């Protein structure tokens, strides 16, 4: 049994059935009812053990072990997988909301406010596919920065958007602007994403959701960011922003380059 990032999801008993995936080829095998029942009981005990472990973790440890949206709450404390309902998480660092919209078991699920145009843009330091840690502050006095949050790698709109960034890379460079695409995916996922599509630009991993929270674009329920754009000038001031109302929407590069031209004067 194994975990796969592509396609997203967990192959195993947590889907409420007796089908499980083995090996790198993704083969599927069925079991007889008695064997499936025994397997489900063992898996349930394993899940309870993981929930107990999660309850003892520090905030940093919890975000390390339970950060990815692919978990869909199935192994988070107090959340039933495959039931179609969400219950409140008992862990103090879990942001999973209760059915009634409250979050009695954890921190508030209300999103942080977005920074306003004219404000100093929140700084961050994120791991890049270049192998370095990139901060917003390092561009101050040197380049404008377009921060482009996107939900998840390997999804249709996000792939098209990043391929477009790569194709127009020189156009952004000519306007003295660094494009920093950011998602909550891990750096290894980003590396594979870039390699598959031959992208020229690097991508930043907001694995702990700190940057997306600071910019008010983290969807606390889905645990990934909304698609959003923040244009920061050389003085570190936010000059333009746009947050998409729908995950399937995106801004064309022509519009982004036009906004950059306004900042460049």
SS3 string, 49-101, reads HHHHHHHCCCHHHHHHHCCCHHHCCCCCCCCCCCCCCCCCCCCCCCCCCCCCC
The one catalytic residue among 21, 89, 94, 158:
158
Whole-number average pLDDT of the chain: 76
Are 135 and 234 spatial neighbours (Cβ–Cβ below 8 Å)? no
C-alpha 96, offset from chain centre: 15
What distance in Å separates the CA atoms of residue 242 and residue 19, rounded to the nearest whole number? Answer: 43
Residue 89 a catalytic site member: no
What distance in Å separates the CA atoms of residue 265 and residue 262, rounded to the nearest whole number? Answer: 5
**pLDDT of amino acid 32:** 58
Most confidently modeled of 35-39, 93-97, 255-259?
255-259
What distance in Å separates the CA atoms of residue 183 and residue 219, rounded to the nearest whole number? Answer: 12
Element (H, E) at 156: helix 156-167
Band of pLDDT at residue 38, cut at 50, 70 and 90? confident
**pLDDT of amino acid 108:** 45
Residue 22 bridge partners (DSSP): 27
**pLDDT of amino acid 56:** 61
Are 43 and 74 spatial neighbours (Cβ–Cβ below 8 Å)? no
Where is average pLDDT lowest: 21-25, 60-64, 253-257? Answer: 21-25
Q: What is the CATH number of domain 125-264?
A: 3.40.30.10
What distance in Å separates the CA atoms of residue 59 and residue 17, rounded to the nearest whole number? Answer: 32
What distance in Å separates the CA atoms of residue 191 and residue 202, rounded to the nearest whole number? Answer: 9
Domain definitions of the chain by residue range? 1-109, 125-264
């Amino acid at each position: 049994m194994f975990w796969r990032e592509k396609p997203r999801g967990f192959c195993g008993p947590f889907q409420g059935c007796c089908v499980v995936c083995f090996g790198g080829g993704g083969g599927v095998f069925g079991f007889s009812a008695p064997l499936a029942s025994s397997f489900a009981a063992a898996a349930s005990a394993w899940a309870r053990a993981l929930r107990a472990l999660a309850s003892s973790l520090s905030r940093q440890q919890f975000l390390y072990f339970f950060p990815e949206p692919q978990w869909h709450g199935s192994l988070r404390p107090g959340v039933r997988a495959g039931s179609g309902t969400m219950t409140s998480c008992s862990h103090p660092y879990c942001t999973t909301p209760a059915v009634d919209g409250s979050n009695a078991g954890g921190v508030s699920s209300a999103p942080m406010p977005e920074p306003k145009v004219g404000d100093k843009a929140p700084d961050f330091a994120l791991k890049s596919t270049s192998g370095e840690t990139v901060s917003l502050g390092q561009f101050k006095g040197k380049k404008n920065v377009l921060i482009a949050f996107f939900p998840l790698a390997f999804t249709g709109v996000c792939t098209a958007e990043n391929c477009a960034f790569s194709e127009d890379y020189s156009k952004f460079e000519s306007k003295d602007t660094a494009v920093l695409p950011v998602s909550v995916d891990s750096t290894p996922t980003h590396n594979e994403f870039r390699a598959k599509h031959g992208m020229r630009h690097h991508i930043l991993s907001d694995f702990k959701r700190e940057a997306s929270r600071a910019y008010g674009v983290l969807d606390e329920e889905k645990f990934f960011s909304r698609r959003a754009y923040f244009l920061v000038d050389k003085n570190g001031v936010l000059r333009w922003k746009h947050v998409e109302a729908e995950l399937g929407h995106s801004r064309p590069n022509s519009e982004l380059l036009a906004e950059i031209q306004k900042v460049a004067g």
